[in-house]
Amino acid sequence: MSDLTRAGVAETARLVADGEVSARGVVEQALGRIDERDRELNAFTAVLVDAAIAEADDRDAALARGGPVGPLHGVPIAIKDEIDVAGTVTTFGGLGNSSPMAEDAEVVRRLRAAGAVIVGKTTMPEFGAFPFTESVARGITRNPWNPAHTPGGSSGGTAVAVSAGMVPAGLGGDGGGSIRIPSASCGLFGLKPQRGRVTTAPQPHLWWALGTAGPLTRSVLDSALVYDVVRGNVEGDLFTAGGGEPFVDAVGREPGRLRVGWTTKPVTLGVRPDPVHVQAVRDTAALLSDLGHDVREVDPRYPDPTAAFVPQFLGGIRAEAELVEHYDRLERRTRETCRLGSWVTPRVLDFALAQTEKVSEKANRVFQDVDVLLTPTIAHRPPKVGRLDGVGTVTASLRSMPSIAYAALWNVAGNPAASVPCGTGADGLPVAVQLVGRTDDEATLFSLSAQLERARPWPLLARDA
């Protein structure tokens, strides 16, 4: 069998469906790459060798019977360790839980129903609190482009698994940039969907209005394929999204002439973007202009999201921490965060959710004049590992500011936002820009991102650079 390291979701599914490779062969290759690379990179908390091979055999048997084949048939996928996978412990990046889950989360059930094979759970900082994938329980996760640097977070393990070619795609979560930050740091395409686009079941919410789940992939098409499988709601979801166009269709069409506003102004005061990222935005703006779009610099007049974000962030961590089996096993910093968030009462959360609506209204005023907003994804270059070593909640939060300076606002506002690769810097690490769309308009982001991908292809794997 040929080496499938570079094969993405679409190509892998096609090869299996056409009988050119078996699902078992694909999964065994993925498990081999995990065994080869993960000792250095630390992307996985659990590798489901026997279960994945058995599931792949089931996929091959279904194909042999001539039954229906799903769009992800035989595709190995990794799952961030805050999402339930039956038979595994949902660790949230720590040691607070010890009992395996009885059932899959709804998004995992949908992946399996589409033919995907779940190969493992990926590392994250405890409860996804900070944008560096480091924890006492799991150690340091390293960037495959340069292991001395962080892959970002909190979906850092998923990003590493995809960027290093261990799997074609993985699920992450984004409560303040946690899909986009590691995607930017590892050279991947990562889109945070519209609030309510993807169900949170069995959880009623992910940090109330802030969080959502979604894939990290090496191509725009692969992201759309996975999203079209996992999108949609179930009874009990707090939020729902509008718009029904399949994202795969959006990838396949030209975006038309769009009004694109660009800015390098960060939302967070006191943060200065790295010149590499400023130049990336300017270069992307020039490219979009060459592609026929109406491109102009804008001042988004960002609202301050603090009063909406902080209570939901602290309250979300407290809510998750209160549900673990062994609170005393949580990291000292996590327990400190819970104490610092003791003021977040139900009344405070109601206030924060009301502020969320106000922030969203103000943030979306920029879309009265443009269709898409172009910004940096992160302000700094991916820093060296060890950002969380020995520090408390306040210091960790301050060190996180450059990572979330452009991202977290759109969790509060609820808008879709994507990190799009645009090459590498002189330091050899990836560079990315962020595209933010109108409410419920992931389709435009998929179409425009695909156009950028064609005009300015990016490396598929870290080792391609």
Active site members: 80, 154, 178
Cα–Cα distance between 34 and 218 in angstroms, integer?
17
Query: Positive or negative CA dihedral for 174, 177, 182, 184?
Result: positive
Cα–Cα distance between 461 and 465 in angstroms, integer?
8
Sheet with 417-424, side-by-side order of all strands: 44-47, 117-122, 76-80, 169-174, 212-217, 189-192, 417-424, 430-437, 372-376, 259-262, 294-297
Torsion of CA 312, 224, 75, 205, to 10 degrees: 20
Cα–Cα distance between 13 and 116 in angstroms, integer?
9
Is 92 within 8 Å of 103 (Cβ atoms)? no
| Eight-class DSSP state of 233 | -
The two tokens of residue 271 are 């943060």
Query: Is residue 123 classed as helix, strand or coil in its secondary structure?
Result: coil
Find the DSSP H helices in 270-372.
275-290, 306-321, 332-340, 346-363
Is 140 within 8 Å of 151 (Cβ atoms)? no
The two tokens of residue 139 are 């150690």
Q: Could you write out the DSSP letters of every residue in 148-214? A: TB---SSSHHHHHHHHTTS-SEEEEEESSSTTHHHHHHHT-EEEEPPTTSB--TTSS-STTTT-EEE
Cα–Cα distance between 91 and 300 in angstroms, integer?
39
Q: Residue 316: which residues within 8 A CB-CB, separation 6 or more? A: 127, 175, 205, 206, 207, 208, 210, 211
Single-letter code of the amino acid located at 48: L
The DSSP bridge partners found for residue 418 are 191, 435
Q: Residue 39: which residues within 8 A CB-CB, separation 6 or more? A: none
In angstroms, how far is CA 441 from the centroid of its own chain?
18
Q: Please count the other Cβ atoms lying within 10 Å of the Cβ belonging to residue 116.
A: 30
CA atoms within 13 A on the CB side of 206: 29
Is 61 within 8 Å of 173 (Cβ atoms)? no
